[in-house]
Structure 1
Amino acid sequence: MKSVNVVLVLLCAILPVALSFIDGLVPNGDFEEGPKPWQMHGTEVVDPHSVPHWELSGFVEYIKSGQKQGDMILPVPKGHFALRLGNEASIKTKVQVAKGLFYSLSFGAARTCAQQEQLNLSVSPNSEPKDWGMLPMQTMYSTEGWDSFSWGFLAESNEVEVIFHHPQTQKDQACGPIIDVVALKSFTLPKKSRDILQNGNFEEGPYVLPNTSWGILIPPNVEDDHSALVGWMVESLKAVRYIDSDHFAVPEGKRAVELVAGRESAVAQVVKTVPGKDYDLEFYVGDARNMCEGSMLVEVNASNSTFYVPYESKGKGGSKLAVLRLKAETGRTRIRFLSSYYHMKSDFSGSLCGPVVDGVRLVRVPHA
């Protein structure tokens, strides 16, 4: 019996076997279990099955925290190890999920070369016309040297294959993004309430990695068939940041959205309304307590009208409640939030930031 157990352990160590999954890191999603010395050539991984639960192809490196490339220290988002995807490299893993549920895939990524880098993501099986997402990585938002991203998908099987692919070819074949801390979270649809909006408090969103202080970027919907923020669309050229109360100032509850890229960073939702009826749109505007200072201005587009809500930020946290009265023009009303101004943190890091929006409610006004 002992010999059989040994064989099973060895098989699990070398094959990307699908395992039962709950919200959090996928099996070996932090890559702390890595290849043996004889499965590597320098930092390059030469055995495609040497990273437990993952299968590798192309030029993939196993990076250790503190490792240098010339004078530059390669950033490892969390823990001690990560993978770098070089020329035409890809990594994939299989995970058991619940068919028919929506999921968000969260992961940390860092750019390591001066050139623009991009990363393709796919989850299969997938019947959507566009079954992959492309994340351009020329803009980094955090001061730590890496960002965390999220990507939403609908599970069309009880087992899915998650693939990260770096499609570019550079003169330096090792040049490419570093990937770490890969996690999944299933979505729960918000319960119905007197609020017409779905998930107005933003509590249902991507998995936030424990003990990380840089939030999660949610890409625009042109890169994502299913938003990783339940009920909302990211209608902009750049991402919005999903933040948590453990590391940021959040006006209400545990989660909120930071509009980090000015007019290029917007969230929207389409709701059912009654033409000709009045509605109150309530929401909080504040700052994330992340040294984002200055005169902020949140622009709200709703029912063919545009509203502006100013907020003076000292970068130390705080918020105010805004209440707007609007009249529905049609049976479907699009409500959209964006930042009128661009902001950078006052720590001279050049990192983008912006106003926080939270606690959004749309309530029909009763008439006497």
Structure 2
Amino acid sequence: MSTPVTLETIRTAPKVLLHDHLDGGLRPQTVIDLADAGGYANLPTTDAEELGVWFAEAADSGSLVRYLETFAHTVGVMQNTDAIIRVAAEAAEDLADDGVVYAEVRYAPELFTEGGLSLEQIVEAVQEGFRQGEATAAARGKKVRIGTLLCAMRQNARSLEIAELAVRYRDAGVVGFDIAGPEAGFPPTRNLDAFEYLRQQNAHFTIHAGEAFGLPSIWEAIQHCGAERLGHGVRIVDDIKVEEDGTVHLGRLASYVRDRRIPLEMCPSSNLQTGAAASIAEHPIGLLHRLRFRVTVNTDNRLMSHCSMSGEMAALVEAFGYGWADLQWFTVNAMKSAFIGFDERLAIINDVIKPGYAALQA
């Protein structure tokens, strides 16, 4: 008999994560410890349980001001090398403990320079932390591979600089580039020089698009900038019409995204907080999965969205009745779409993911 699909059994299944922000996944106690060590005095509370609740409630509040305040605290305590190494190491450990076998974790180096660190020191600290975390997890019998994405903040003018940084460190664990920050008023085409440079360098990149802003953001990201993946991409549903009798009509852009197998880095719980969907059951991921878009499941910000990969998958199981075959499909989609080499992706799919799910379905 197949293993029942529950939160606990999902934790044992191999999972792949493509969209996770380093500064959105700290442990509450770590935030407190780093604030104390670094002299950061702005936390709303120094009780770990209360702080975890505060982060969740602020992120759930519907107030962008309060939501952004949560990142002011996490970024505020990550302004020295030791802090960055600890956060990265714990991220790797936490993902491994949740059954994640491959993850791409992203962050914007420019946010961690307030204490005087150079961009290179920041990248090297993150990579050191990930190596430590991978080693600690492996010693506990949990193998995880972490790739890094460097983000440029789209409202600033440093995207080319960060793209060049990503290329310099691509043989040291940095697997790609991204732009993050507010979509409205800051279209991806503002960063064309960065994307042209990355393409010239045969480097990989994804673009946050179609989360807070609609189809024009997605269209620009793909057709002008050449995005290989879409960060969120949830608003592609605006180009899909479902008739009362269930007939589905795809617009030109939606058809292109599906036909080209452009991966969608979907983050269900986070999308509820940003208003992209009213509930998991109403999230476009259900329709997009049914239409066989290249859908992947992700966490976005594990602290702010009080979520994990296993929790996101369990929520989809509850909302849509998914079974192991569906969860394997999401996982293989993500591994196919990762920014590491083809041989590595294939090895993880054939040697880790497929055997893992076969055992659960036996």
Query: Normalised by the size of structure 1, how large is the TM-score?
Result: 0.26
Instruction: Choose between structure 1 and 2 for higher RCO, CA contacts under 8 A separated by at least 6 residues.
Output: 2
Q: Which has the higher helix share?
A: 2
Query: Normalised by the size of structure 2, how large is the TM-score?
Result: 0.26
Larger Rg: 1
Q: Which has the higher strand share?
A: 1
